[in-house]
Chains A and B, each alone.
Chain A
Amino acid sequence: MAAAESYPDDLRYHPEHDWARIEGDEATLGITWFAQDALGELVHYEAPEVGSTVTKDQPCGEVESVKAVSDVVAPLSGEVLEVNAKAVDAPEVVNEDPYGDGWLIRIRMSDPAEAETLLDVEAYKAHVAEQ
């Protein structure tokens, strides 16, 4: 069952419809409700490898629905510490719980100052309203 539309207050957002939950020098990344809704039921998540580096604004994996495929754009730069195995094995979890069990990767940020460039929830909601 798909989740209801929501954008948590405690996250930072990238205009390409990704979110980041920042804790110290680590961040958990995922795609927003808007992104999963636009794609429809996810059937495949092509994840980056643990230990690889991701670069802000660059693709860091793909999410794929029955009808379409889309790059996941990294909202921040860093080293991949962990990939959510659940999202790889059962990608529908991203539709069901995009900010919880449907997270995608956890990274160690290489440039924590990048977080300042991300949108807060109000700015992201305004961005979504323009889509």
Chain B
Amino acid sequence: MSLQRTPLYARHVSLGARMVPFAGYEMPVQYAGVIDEHRAVRTDCGAFDVSHMGQLHVDGPAAHAFLQEMLSNDLDKVSDGESQYTLLTNEQGGIVDDLIVYRFAHGQYLVVVNASNREPAHEWLKEREARGTEVRDASDEYGLVAVQGPRSLERLGLSEKPAFTHEMGELDGIEVMISRTGYTGETGVELCCAADDASELWDAALARGAVPCGLGARDTLRLEVCYPLHGNDITTETDAISAGLGWACALDTEFTGVETLRRIKEDGPERKLVPFVMEEKSVPRQGMPIEGGGEVTSGTHSPMLDRGIGMGYVPTASASPETELTIDVRGKPRRATVVRKPIYRKEQ
């Protein structure tokens, strides 16, 4: 199968990005270098092409009831112009995808899903689509640019707004939906525009001083603040309670798999997803065993802390902060310590 390209492909190539296959797309993993891009987002402002993410419109008089039944969080708490982090769950309480649902009006929603789950999530919803609801994959109609960092609003000329709100607006003449969301732990926005306007939007963000950032920095940034990555830290086989995502599950509402999740919550999970830092010079990686029956689900080198960091599932008895772990790094035992979320916290 040939790889797809986002509307910004030509921009990435002309900026000298290193392109890699990701979720069926040819995406930039880095431009100048992961560490500099990461630091730009922590200290100033970076721009990411996230047009590969999936956008599903869910519309109709029954859309609200349908989504409330499909998604783990309480959609009743979301008003027009607001959005919410939530999970698409299966009957076993596993996670089909983690996503953000945007409400424009009653009966008018946008669901933004992970690129790698665009088809599974679309099929999942389409198969269960109720009368009075229409699910439509509109991913190819949009460009999506995330602009993140402490100076992002200033550079874009935007005012502060609460997180998880959105509005229509314009940036240098380009019509955009401005969403106060992101995947970096920094202040910022995600800008959604018509696919044909994406290059112009990207150019505008860069002209205003945003540093182009690739998937490499996107991964190190999200891991420093312990945002889970679907496919690594959460999957169709893992449940939200063990993953520490109980806060995104309204267990007093009825949704797919809720009974399983209530039971896990009541009994207490057997294992938990925990963040950890390495105590020795070593970089943990996905799939490495953790002594005592655990496994690393994400690992990298933290550019801010200059040490190995990661997340992994461990038995509940080993999940409290300050517990010492031993990680099998290609046959060598390496010491790590469980920490509190987030792994990296900006000095106040």
Contacts and interface: CB of A to CB of B under 8 A. Distances in A.
B301 A66 contact: yes
A41 B285 contact: no
Contacts of B303: 66
Contacts of A2: 33
A41 B283 contact: no
Interface of A: 2, 40-41, 43-44, 46, 62, 64-67, 69, 88
8 contacts: A2-B33, A40-B33, A41-B35, A44-B282, A44-B301, A62-B330, A66-B34, A69-B330
A67 B33 contact: no
A2 B29 CA distance: 17
Interface string B105-129: 0000000000000000000000000
B30 A40 contact: yes
A104 B253 CA distance: 59
Contacts of B281: 44, 88
A46 B334 CA distance: 12
A87 B283 CA distance: 16
Contact of A64 (B30, B33, B220, B283): B283
B216 interface: yes
Nearest to A89: B281
B30 A69 contact: no
B165 interface: no
Contacts of B34: 40-41, 65-67
Interface string B38-76: 000000000000000000000000000000000000000
B300 interface: yes
A99 B143 CA distance: 43
Contacts of A43: 283, 301
Contact of A67 (B216, B282, B308, B330): B216
B29 A67 contact: yes
Interface string B8-35: 0000000000100000000001100111
Contacts of B30: 40
Interface in B281-306: 281-283, 285, 300-301, 303
A44 B33 contact: no
Nearest to A2: B33
Contacts of A67: 29, 34, 216, 300
Contacts of A69: 283, 285, 330
Contacts of A40: 18, 30, 33-34, 216
Nearest to A37: B18
A49 B282 CA distance: 16
A67 B35 CA distance: 11
Given A2-B33, A41-B33, A41-B35, A66 B216 contact: yes
A64 B35 CA distance: 14
A114 B18 CA distance: 36
A40 B17 CA distance: 12
Contacts of A44: 281-283, 301, 308
Given A44-B282, A44-B283, A66-B303, 14 more contacts: A40-B30, A40-B33, A40-B34, A41-B34, A43-B301, A44-B308, A46-B282, A62-B330, A64-B301, A66-B34, A66-B35, A66-B216, A66-B300, A69-B285
Interface string B269-285: 00000000000011101
